Structure 1
Amino acid sequence: MNLCRVPLSPQCCYNRLQPLISVSPLKQINSPATRFLRFSTRNKWSVVCRLSETDKNDDELDKKLDEEDLNDSNSLELNSRPHQDQPLGPMLEDTSLENNNGAQLNEQTGVEWISNSVSISPPHVVELVLKQDGTEVQVASGSPLPGVKVPQQLDESIRIPKETVEILRNQLFGFDTFFVTSQEPYEGGVLFKGNLRGQAAKTYEKVSKRMQDKLGDDYKLFLLINPEDDKPVAVVVPRMTLQPETTAVPEWFAAGAFGFVTVFTLLLRNVPALQLNLLSVFDNLDLLKDGLPGALITAFLLGVHEVSHRLVAKEVGIKLGIPYFVPSWQIGSFGAITRILNIVPRREDLLKVAAAGPLAGFSVGLILLLSGFILPPTDGIGIIVDPSVFHESFLAGGIGKLLLGDVLKEGTPISVNPLVIWAWAGLVINPINSIPAGELDGGRIAFAMWGRKASARLSALSIGLLGISSLFNDVAFYWVVLIFFLQRGPIAPISEEISDPDNKYMALGVVVLLLGLLVCLPYPFPFSSEAATGF
């Protein structure tokens, strides 16, 4: 416990940790006029101080001092002996205050001197009672019912010592970086409110270096935006509180189980005969080999997506966990859930990593889709599809109309290369992950581009629209459930969350979101003029 040192003369006090105030059982002895103290603290600990003075030659009082182990009547001592509960009546009887005059406040110590004529006992005894009730107390000597204020306090709420908080406030922050105006508890640490001086990135770098030099690696600094007033705040927390969460089931085991089921659904999705009767799957496992080519194409696009995430993450210093591939009866897989294991340095870094996967997946999938429309079926027959399926995607319908021309007519089935269907399935997985909601790639992109508050609103809007779509589309229903239970966030704080990404990366983020819309939005125009005039 940090000792409280108060410059008193005569000095003689000791620390008590109970909220009640006791008085000496000795008889009152009138003494000359003296002064008493009123302490005003801004911490969880509040200080009650009583000062009394009488004749030093009183044998009974000297004996009492000896019993209480007061070695020097002119010294101030602090200890933590337990305090005895006493009723309020004796307190009032043993204390009399007269002629309260003007107060003088010592700003550094928080001690307010008030001149008084006082008659209390014992001699030269100052009792400090530190209260742990979370209140800010201002008391006069002997006052049994001090005025109580209840602000947010620090000491019991945080794990950072008070001395360290003072170092942070007075030595690490300053006029050249972040001028602190107030502080309060925050998530096991301290939140400093104030004024940001200069660019956030440079301020973070400068304060982090000072913290490293002064305090080592024990604490972590964050520069964030306060959602209440949209003003910058600095947060310092112990690094021990930032350990990644552990799961009851080993990650590799859960990821392997998810992956095994995903392989099965990828194969099943490309065998229509088995989709019609799922109960017959185990009786016709040999048919699953027919779905192998399509499963490999979709798995290849999934792999391109995940590898791109990891390559960029390694470049910017972000650690990713094991991917959990989510199986889907409708499209084979919903993609992968990948945790970020460390603290992301900047929003721009998060944008790079989040956008890398969808951009790579879109690019490769688009090349395969174009190849499928251009190349004839290998067996001369291909897959017979109804043109209405191309109305489900603005991108697929637009490309189909551009490349197939009048061949694509309403109500006339056409034969296409199976690569079209396989690539389309892979393309659909990318825009689903690009929805700006929760911790999906799209949610992380929106967070990195527009900040926490705007991305939270966009996420709520996206989930609401998905909920409406789920009334008509089973894929949307399963995706809403997946987001709600596994990916709804919130996204963990970023080290320096104030600076916006560079414009070129903002443009990449916009491209990813627009590509997602192009794939998911329906193609509204008719494929033939006959269909257009037939209405």
Structure 2
Amino acid sequence: MELWLLLILLGLITYFIINRSVARITRTPVWLLWLVMMTPALVLGGWTLAKGEDVPLPTELMLALFVACPLLYWLLIQWGRRDANPPASQKTQTENQASVASRQVPAIAKEPTLRPITKQEETDLRNCFPWGVYYLQNVEYRPQAVLCRGKLRTNPEAAYQTVRDNVEAEFGDRFFLLFQESLSGKPFFALVPNPQTKTREDGIPKERQPVEGKALALGLMLITLFTTTVIGVRIAGFSAEQLTSDPATLLQGLPYALALMAILSIHEMGHYLAAMFYKMQTTLPYFIPSPFFLGALDLIPVFFLGTFGAFIQMRSPVPNRKALFDVGIAGPLAGLIVTIPLLIWGLAHSSVVPLSDASGLLNYESLDPRFSLLLTVLSKGALGSQLTSAMAIKLHPVAVAGYIGLVVTAFNLMPVGQLDGGHVVHAMLGQRIGAIIGQITRLLMLVLALLEPDLLLWAIILLFMPVADEPALNDVSELDNWRDLCGFLAMVVLVSIILPAPVTITRLLNL
């Protein structure tokens, strides 16, 4: 039953990601792409049902699937790719770079069609580039952007600020001004249409979120509080029959629900407040409740959380890499500040049980903390001499919420695409290097999943995610040393969560 529920959940997530990421760029049916990428999971599930969990899938077959399916997935996308650009034979190298730059425009600026600028407006535009700041050499026109190429003569931040002020003085809010690096590493400016206006037709500023959006956020939060509370009842050891016969039993699920909701809320509020600091338009956090039938409560697997998490929706582009870094790291940092104390308290109120074959990283009744260095250290610190090499942990409901918070933090810190870690690495090292690191991370997770099968779901989800993060408006200016250090420490936290404790440490801790 748990296996089928996991496959259904994975299938839904996979379809959603494929539909959002590649449906617009290829004519290949989404269902076919979904089937190709679900093949490893379906084969593994079928093998487990036929042979049992004690007989592992042959390593050669698993490796073949993980190599062949992504390759076939990429070929199918290329085979059906929508060609919105002129034939390659008609493009020069500069035009190819412009095409890449046009595709890198933030999503908010991709839909409008650029209005042609007149000769006089082009002259005015050229005057926006002072010779001593950015020596403009040529202006190129593309369907979604006006590209201004030249030579940078001062530091990137000062150049962007000067040119942006001049463009705004000349054209108002007609354009977004992007500052990016071409494929050859040379910085260039791009003007793209700004679909936003200062006010809507009714005169209400766009920065103010509609009442309907706030009501939706509150409604989803209350529903998610209920679903997590019901799951908390199961985690606390009560059955569906006890819950239906005595509704007061629902109170037993509150420790788990409130702890988990606090972790998720503060994580998203970290993003929200950082975005507000940079005057970026964003929604309030939206929670995603996971529906279920109360009568099937006893059949719900242990990895069912009562929620699929929470998110905020950015409604304006990121101004620069510093803002991208701060908004990206604020969520995991804020969530971790709450997660660690809750996890330590929950572990201190947990009990130890004998280590068995059923112990693992998805079994809250018998959790083996040794798969994670950070969890090992925290568990030993909280339980002391009770936790030995022959013992596992039966988690208190608050410890379950803290443990989930640790997992959520680790997943969000993965340096892939538009995850928080992807934003952080992109801001630190640039978009191109960030994409390379994202690709390496996905491959390393596949290898790690072969050693720890419970991480297979992570590996598959990461495999579907685009490795390239969307650029900031000023995507050239680099971070200061302090932010680089914080980003490095964030990656250290990620490694300490996902990698097992070394033998030397387990021996030192008597584990």
Which TM-score bucket, shorter chain as reference?
A: 0.5 to 0.7
Aligned to 2:135: 179
Q: Taking structure 1 as reference, are residues 445 and 164 closer, same or farther at Cα in structure 2, changes over 3 Å only?
A: farther
* Number of aligned positions between the proteins: 370
Percent identity for Structure 1 against Structure 2: 25
C-alpha distance in 2 between matches for 1:428 and 1:405: 23
Q: Is the 8 A contact 1:266 1:295 kept in 2?
A: yes
Aligned match of 1:346: 320
- The residue aligned with 1:225 is 181
Deviation at 1:507, TM superposition (A): 1.7
Structure of greater Rg:
1
Classify 1:339/1:192 alpha carbon distance in 2 versus 1 (closer, same or farther; 3 Å). Answer: same
Match of 2:190 among 205, 217, 235: 235
Distance (whole Å) between structure 2 residues aligned to residue 340 and residue 164 of structure 1: 35
Alignment match of 1:450 (pick from 426, 429, 436)? 429
Which one-letter code corresponds to 2:229 in the other structure? L
Matches within 5 A, 1:192-203: 192-203=148-159
**Equivalent pair of 1:394/1:520 in contact (CA under 8 Å):** yes
Say if 1:158 and 1:185, in contact at 8 Å, map to a contact too: no
Cα gap change, 1:307/1:475 in structure 2, threshold over 3 Å: closer, same or farther? farther
Per-residue CA distance 1:153-193 (angstroms, 9 max, x = gap): 99xx9533142562255311242121122332345221122
Query: How much does 1:347 deviate?
Result: 0.6
Q: Is the 8 A contact 2:272 2:284 kept in 1?
A: no
State the partner residue of 2:232: 270
Letter in 1 for 2:257: A
- Between the aligned partners of 2:439 and 2:216, the Cα distance in structure 1 is 29
**SS of equivalent to 1:355:** helix
Q: Output one character per residue of 1:402-440: Cα deviation in whole Å (capped at 9) or x when no partner.
A: 454432212235677654333222222212111111211
Alpha-carbon shift at residue 348 of structure 1 (Å): 0.4
RMSD: 4.0
Farther off after superposition, 161-170 or 198-207: 161-170
2:285 pairs with 1:323: yes
Please say if 1:492 is aligned against 2:470: yes
Match of 1:22 in 2: none
Equivalent of 2:486, from 508, 516, 519?
508
Among 384, 387, 408, the alignment partner of 2:387 is 408
Shift of 1:320: 1.8
| Corresponding letter in the other structure for 1:298 | L
Per the alignment, residue 360 of structure 1 pairs with: 334
CA contact (8 A) 1:186 1:235 kept: no
Unaligned runs of 5+ residues in structure 1 are 1-133, 136-148, 245-249
Distance (whole Å) between structure 2 residues aligned to residue 230 and residue 284 of structure 1: 67
Structure 1 counterpart of 2:271, from 288, 299, 309: 309
Q: Secondary structure at the match of 1:172?
A: coil
Provide the C-alpha distance between the structure 2 equivalents of 1:428 and 1:189, rounded to a whole number of angstroms: 40
The 8 Å contact of residues 160 and 237 in structure 1, kept in 2 or not, is answered as no
Aligned counterpart, 1:18: none
- Map Cα deviations across residues 470-507 of structure 1 (whole Å, 9 max, x no partner): 5676764544565567x647543322111111211222
Tell me, yes or no, if the aligned pair for 1:222 and 1:236 is still in contact at 8 Å: yes
Note closer, same or farther for the CA distance 1:168–1:186 as it changes in structure 2 (3 Å cut).
farther
More RCO (CA 8 Å, sep 6+): 2
Q: As a proportion of its length, which structure holds more strand? A: 1
CA 1:498–1:281: 2 relative to 1, 3 Å? farther
* 2:420 corresponds to: 441
TM norm structure 2: 0.61
Q: Does 1:523 pair with 2:501?
A: yes
CA contact (8 A) 1:159 1:188 kept: no
Within 1, Cα distance between the matches of 2:389 and 2:166?
69
1:345-384 per-residue CA deviation (whole Å, 9 max, x = no partner) reads: 111011111111111211222122333455xx4xxxx544
